[in-house]
Structure 1
Amino acid sequence: MSRRVDFPPDDELKEILHDFQRRGLSLAIRLRYLEEKQGMKIGSTKLKKLNKKFEVPSARKFNDVEGATAAIADIVSRDINQGQGPDTVKRVAALRLNIIIPRDFVRATMHGLVGQGPSDLRRPGRRSGPKKRGALDAIGIGIDIYGMRDHVGKLLWMVAVPNSRLSDTIGHVFLDMVSKYGAISVQVTFDGGSELGWLSAFQTTLRETFAPELSTAEWPACVAVQSSINIPIESTWSYDRKFNGRTLREILEEGRIHLIPGDLIHRHLFRWLWSKIVQISLDEFVDYFNNKKTRRQRARILPSGVAPNVVFDMPQDYGLENLAIAVPQAAIDQLRDLIDTPRSEALRWVPDVFDAVAREVYCRPQCQFRGKSRDLLDSGIFCVFGRLAGTFEHLNRE
């Protein structure tokens, strides 16, 4: 007697299967995801039939030589540091462009494009630094980044904020993260600072309310440590350089020749535009980092040789236990009401009037931008900046 399997709607199942391929998951892990997240217990033969039915691309069935070559050339051209190897280029093509290319083809094409093998481009040695927040500053205008990382290595949240030194701002960022996952960790570790007042208070309150059985003496809700021994989130930026081909600081520094610091329109436009550019890069980087298999290390206590997303989603498969403490949205909303500064104001980059005009100008047909976030990068950052600045200057003269 065959067992009945309830399948989701075709359009939903197609999206799920294509996302598995985009993330580069093995067949075994795909089957586990379908069982764990969709309640579909099927075999590899059935999964292969579904992949064929929904035209899921495969490196083994690769035939778009022209498209793949163009994609590789585009990725390599963005890598101004020439530090990306074939594995990284292959992952970038899948995650960013949804193009599945065999590694051998990537390697051969890169050799033809750059005139040398990927091994010659490799730069051994990494510089790591433990930090939970990175601040970028260009021409006196700051673009702060705040990040949160789980114990198993998954980047939970990375967001560009107007000012990471304000407790109200970081309080909203923390609640945004809790709202996304519907849970908090047993413990939060951070390097001390006045901006963490609300974060610490919220974490402690939620822990005491929804996990009162946990001993604060044994497992404090919050632990403040020196930055030198905090979770080394800054070490992830070496992967950011590989993924984007250049650091966010380098992108910001290029703005020197386009920005007039004393011009209020330029300053507002810089914050309005570059905050979006930084967030686009962060979102893509988080997607890349969380889906990248870590290097296998036998002596490591936590799982290795597997992507952080997989360990986070199915910890029981790796001898771990999910210790997340569920938090209802109503509790999050109540805590948010305690913050003096509304979320919209705490995360506001420019005045509302400027934001409204900038959005309208950005989406104008004559600007040749359709409002898509990726257009900010693909159309040329400074081309967008120049056109928007010119339009604002014209509006001022009217």
Structure 2
Amino acid sequence: MRGVLDRDAADMRKPGAKKMHTRGLWSAGPNEGWCVDSYGKILLCMGIAVWGIIDKYAREELNLWAVPDACTADVPPALYLLMVRAKKGMPMQTTSNMGSETGGLAVAQTSLRQIYLPDLPLDSLPVHRSVKSVYNITRERGWRPIWEKELANVKYAYETGKISAGFHPEDPIHQGVSLWLWAKIIQLHLDDIRRENSRHRVRFQRNKLLPTGGTHGEFYKHPERWGE
């Protein structure tokens, strides 16, 4: 359960922790790079994790999924391929946190790029980057507002409500119904988060290399408006 036990990510989110320098983040445009990772802050108590894909250029949440265990090897490549099918295209590069469960995703990304983008040089633009969580900056920065605005309240409602509801965690029927119901509830919240993220306006920042002064959705759909 790397999403819960990832010490680098946990340390980075502590109050007063030294932040990674992000001013130099740059991307050529939408879908050049997708940053992916899992979030496991509700996994231990609810048995549900979140896995997400965010576009590096636009900081647009492309999708967020509620899943039983994001560290299962089949989950990242399956969700990645669902996103490729939905977008009818693939990124030039993917970035994930280090972890054995991302191997299948890297294989899928490599295979697709070899087929559809064979002329892109591997030395200047690697197919996949597997990095420490503190360097998967675009994805890691997206988790904090998701937790503070939505998931913290969901976790509180779950923990307080299961007592009054007479929930028995050892009962397999209770377990199954709880997972089925709360996964749907969390997914509804994640869908709302994704829509809100697309409408979120980023204040203008002259020294930033990525686009500012518009919404994430505008950056993603109309990058020509923020060209040099």
Cα pair distance change 1:212/1:245, threshold 3 Å: closer
Please name the residue that 1:175 is paired with: 81
Which structure features the higher share of helix residues?
A: 1
- Is the contact between residue 144 and residue 164 of structure 1 (CA under 8 Å) also seen in structure 2? yes
Q: Which string of whole-angstrom CA distances, capped at 9 and with x for unpartnered residues, describes residues 99-145 of structure 1?
A: xxxxxxxxxxxxxxxxxxxxxxxxxx998989822111354x41010
Q: Which of the numbers 189, 203, 220 marks the counterpart of 2:109? A: 203
1:183 is paired with a residue whose SS is coil
2:224 is the alignment partner of 1:319: no
Cα pair distance change 1:242/1:267, threshold 3 Å: closer
Q: Which of the numbers 8, 21, 38 marks the counterpart of 1:133? A: 38
Amino acid at match of 2:50: I
Alpha-carbon distance, 1:243 to partner: 4.7
2:154 is the alignment partner of 1:248: yes
Cα pair distance change 1:126/1:133, threshold 3 Å: farther
2:101 is the alignment partner of 1:188: no
Q: Which string of whole-angstrom CA distances, capped at 9 and with x for unpartnered residues, describes residues 51-85 of structure 1?
A: xxxxxxxxxxxxxxxxxxxxxxxxxxxxxxxxxxx
Cα pair distance change 1:149/1:132, threshold 3 Å: same
Percent identity for Structure 1 against Structure 2? 28
Cα pair distance change 1:128/1:245, threshold 3 Å: farther
Amino acid at match of 1:229: Y
- Is the contact between residue 240 and residue 247 of structure 1 (CA under 8 Å) also seen in structure 2? no
Cα pair distance change 1:193/1:240, threshold 3 Å: closer
Please name the residue that 1:155 is paired with: 61
Q: TM-score, normalised by structure 2?
A: 0.77
Query: RCO greater where, 1 or 2, for CA within 8 Å and sep 6 or more?
Result: 2
Amino acid at match of 2:212: S
2:181 is the alignment partner of 1:276: no
Q: TM-score, normalised by structure 1?
A: 0.45
Q: Which of the numbers 119, 127, 130 marks the counterpart of 1:213? A: 119
1:316 is paired with a residue whose SS is helix
2:54 is the alignment partner of 1:146: no
Cα pair distance change 1:183/1:224, threshold 3 Å: same
Alpha-carbon distance, 1:314 to partner: 1.0
- Is the contact between residue 166 and residue 195 of structure 1 (CA under 8 Å) also seen in structure 2? yes
- Is the contact between residue 165 and residue 195 of structure 1 (CA under 8 Å) also seen in structure 2? yes
2:173 is the alignment partner of 1:265: yes
Alpha-carbon distance, 1:227 to partner: 1.1
Detail structure 1 runs of 4+ shifted over 6 Å in the superposition.
Answer: 125-131
Cα pair distance change 1:246/1:192, threshold 3 Å: closer
Q: Which runs of 5+ in 1 are unaligned?
A: 1-124, 321-398
1:215 is paired with a residue whose SS is coil
Please name the residue that 1:303 is paired with: 211
Q: Which string of whole-angstrom CA distances, capped at 9 and with x for unpartnered residues, describes residues 298-334 of structure 1?
A: 11111112111111101112117xxxxxxxxxxxxxx
2:47 is paired with a residue whose SS is strand
Q: Which runs of 5+ in 2 are unaligned?
A: 1-14, 21-35
Amino acid at match of 1:186: M
Amino acid at match of 1:260: H
2:213 is paired with a residue whose SS is coil
Cα pair distance change 1:127/1:234, threshold 3 Å: farther
Matches within 5 A, 1:17-96: none
Larger C-alpha radius of gyration, 1 or 2? 1
Matches within 5 A, 1:227-242: 227-240=133-146
Cα pair distance change 1:126/1:283, threshold 3 Å: farther
Q: Which of the numbers 182, 195, 198 marks the counterpart of 1:290? A: 198
- Is the contact between residue 243 and residue 288 of structure 1 (CA under 8 Å) also seen in structure 2? no
- Is the contact between residue 129 and residue 235 of structure 1 (CA under 8 Å) also seen in structure 2? no
Cα pair distance change 1:237/1:250, threshold 3 Å: farther
Please name the residue that 2:29 is paired with: none
